[in-house]
Chains A and B, each alone.
Chain A
Amino acid sequence: MKRSLIIAGVATLLLSGCGAGPEGGSGPATIDYWLWDAAQQPQYQACADAFHKANPQYTVKITQYGWDDYWNTLTTAFVSGTAPDVFTSHLSRYPDLASQGQLLPITDLVTRDKVDLSMYQDGLADLWVTKDGQRYGLPKDFDTVAVIYNTDKLKEAGIKPEEMSELTWNPQDGGTYEKVIARLTVDQNGKRGDEPGFDKNHVATYGLGLNTSGAGFGQTEWSMYTMSNGWQYADQNPWPSRFNYADPKFKETVTWLTSLIDKGYVPSMDIISSGVGQIDTYGAGKYAMVTEGSWNTKTYWALKGVKSALAPTPIGPTGKRASLFNGLADNISAGTDNPDAAWAWVKFLASPACQQDIVAKQAVVFPAIKSATAEAEKAFADAGIDVKPFTMHVKDGTTHLAPISDHWADITAIMTETMDSILSFKSDVNALDPANTKINALFG
């Protein structure tokens, strides 16, 4: 009896991976939908309500997990057979899930239902097609990078807001961009970074904040510099076979960034790793400006005690600005009990009915549909935020698609170590050579 109890217990543990959901077939169904951004839950709840109204047989149940728990929870759910029918997905994660057969391809469904892929911002829809030509998602939003600055600090430094939109940058002397950063940096005695007697070891306000070393992505840390310097992540994107982290253009950009730390204009790795985060530090007036992603805009404007404005990222040696162009989509689990319902919901999320009529008006993210972008700009403007520095990248064609690659988690691990080390002055930029070799070895 005891033996069988043990066996039963063990068997339960082992077999819990094979459970089936409650509903099946067509007819009324509940669609389990997961997302990670709490700030976006209200707008998608509104979409879910609209969807239910249009399709009374389907009900959408939304569950939100914080980003830190999201992917663990999702993986465990896949293993135990309790994965959501549809979930918000990320470009850095979906290739692994797709290659392991966890996602439902929607290639045929898109063709069957004649979804017009040209309605999305150019390039976004292609991000969700894997090497074997299968499509797994329809774009729901996009993001770009801009500079957020503290308007009072800018005034104190005697810099006009107009100057902020014409800044240029180069890896040799940093251009007018570095001049502004230096000017905005203030030490404890009130000396500015460009004044004689500036004490770089006792800085009260850094001209430019830093979030992390950026690992191999550097989306809001260094990608706007490296790419305006003519650098690309890899030989091709998506699905590269060779990465370019050892490229001289990348190295000279990183060297320039470390020089800002050395000059005391940007906090050191020791300081930022001993800090709770860029947003709170900026909110406390310790950073005069930061480089940030569009999805965080509202969070910055919600900070009490600081007034902010946006400026575009600087024009680089290529004569152009640059921003990564990233976006989310919804994926369908391969094991969903109700593929029809799941597809109907995904299609609705990717339609103007959700993106233009609901999401755009909430002014949290930029919807992927072209016509909805103007709508979102207007909604942001109504909230007192001029978001042109984000959207101008799309209009001017200065966006670069985020790298989509196999082995991304391993690349991140290697590059976190390497970039942390370089920005901590524990190794010089030539440490990128062995790191890049190691990364390329992952691709055989």
Chain B
Amino acid sequence: MTSDTVRAAPRPTAGTVPDKAPPRRRRLGDLPIAIVFVLPAAIGFAVFYVWPAIRGAYLSLTKYNVLTPPRFIGLENYRQLFGDHLFWNALKVTAEYVVLNIGTQTVISMVLAVLLHRLTRSMVVRGIVLLPYLVANVVVALVWFWMLDFQLGVVNQVIEWLGFDRVAFFGADLGIATIAMINTWRHMGYTALLIFAGLLMIPPSVYEAAAIDGASEWRTFWRVTLPLLRPVMALVMVLSVIGSFQVFDTVAVTTGGGPINATRVIYFYIYDMAFNRFNFGYAAALSSVLFVLLAGIAYLQLRLSRAGESDLKGA
């Protein structure tokens, strides 16, 4: 994290920043107008997030099939959940997916963003990079599903022409990796643009300084770009990891969780429990556990990456 070029910029200490803070009375005067601005979002948040979350937490303590009133059963759903091999399998499969998806997506996006930043400012290129993201998830999944079909797909035909054996892309061994790669393909352009925006915030002066010091492009990336990108990367990681955990549609339109349980990710399991098996109480318990898990992961990520601080302050 410490680089010679960055250290040249003095780091702010806690006491030095808020010297221009407005007087207290003024801030209270802004309160009514602030509330007006915040209210629409707050109502949406309350109605569509807070209330369902509270009700979901309650339903997780019941046996509920939507059509008859919920029956309170205490912690029974949670007791059942911890002994449910499909729950643990779903967590495992989802974790595999997240690691593969985030791993490849972040690296490829970073490379794309740096290339966009250092090589070209062309809007056309930026547009092309973003293109996969503009196609609906389900369409992307279905197109790839057709292309990767074992017997009919163009990809397997090419593989065969090249002299290799056909590949069961959605089989038990490769299914989850294939789904991860499809979503990496779809999201990498979008993530690259987020990172690209972060790159634009890095002042050119630090690159000039690096150039004067004779740093190579490679070294500049590791010593200047990457450290200064940290807050943006933290945001990108938190958003994409949480988004990645929510994988559902790609699974739903391709493998449907199979074969066996090889691609039964947690969201698909929750959906299956609720809408196919009408076990809404149990599905609510699964969702509650996932909520706690995601909250924990997001908190850890933010703590570890010190996302609220920037190395550029005061520069």
Contact = CB atoms under 8 A, between A and B. Distances in A.
A2 interface: yes
Contacts of A424: 172, 259-260
Nearest to A418: B260
> What does DSSP make chain B's interface, helix, strand, loop or mixed?
loop
Contacts of A79: 66-67
B47 A273 contact: no
Q: How large is the interface on A (under 10, 10 to 19, 20 to 34, 35 or more residues)?
A: 35 or more
B50 to A, nearest CB: 10
Given A75-B67, A276-B146, A269 B151 contact: no
A13 B168 CA distance: 45
Contact of A409 (B47, B170, B173, B277): B277
B277 A410 contact: yes
Contacts of B171: 268-271, 273-274
A21 interface: no
B67 A420 contact: no
A116 B251 CA distance: 47
Interface string A258-276: 0000000001111101111
A418 to B, nearest CB: 9
Nearest to A408: B277
A96 B278 contact: yes
Contacts of A268: 168, 171
> What does DSSP make chain A's interface, helix, strand, loop or mixed?
helix
B222 interface: no
B175 interface: yes
Contacts of A286: 151-152
A299 interface: no
B68 interface: yes
A417 interface: yes
B277 A413 contact: yes
A413 B146 CA distance: 26
Nearest to B151: A286
Contact of B278 (A6, A75, A267, A416): A75
B272 interface: yes
Interface residues of B, number: 35
B185 interface: no
Given A100-B67, A270-B173, A420-B258, A275 B46 contact: no
Nearest to B39: A2
Contacts of B170: 270, 273-274
A101 B68 CA distance: 9
A269 B259 contact: yes
Contacts, number: 106
Given A75-B275, A100-B67, A413-B272, A275 B43 contact: no
A273 B66 contact: no
Contact of B258 (A5, A273, A276, A284): A273
B149 A276 contact: yes
A281 B43 CA distance: 50
A6 B258 contact: no
Contacts of A71: 275-276
A10 interface: yes
A65 B246 CA distance: 26
Interface in A285-323: 286
Interface in A191-239: 201-202, 213
A420 B170 CA distance: 14
Interface string B239-252: 00000000000000
A274 B149 contact: yes
A269 B175 CA distance: 12
Contacts of B258: 269, 273, 416, 420
Contacts of A10: 46-47, 51
B133 interface: no
A102 interface: yes
A248 interface: no
A280 B171 CA distance: 19
Contacts of A102: 67
Contacts of A96: 278
A232 to B, nearest CB: 25
Residue from B46, B68, B168 with most neighbouring chain A CB atoms (10 Å): B168
B148 interface: yes
Contacts of B145: 276
B169 interface: yes
B165 interface: yes
A275 B259 contact: no
Interface in B142-192: 145-146, 148-152, 165, 168-173, 175
Interface of B: 39, 43, 46-47, 51, 65-68, 86, 145-146, 148-152, 165, 168-173, 175, 255, 258-261, 272, 275-278
Q: Which 7 A-B pairs have the closest CB atoms?
A: A270-B171, A270-B168, A274-B170, A274-B150, A100-B67, A273-B259, A409-B277
16 contacts: A6-B46, A75-B275, A75-B278, A78-B66, A202-B165, A267-B150, A269-B171, A274-B148, A275-B149, A276-B146, A276-B152, A280-B152, A286-B152, A413-B277, A417-B86, A426-B172
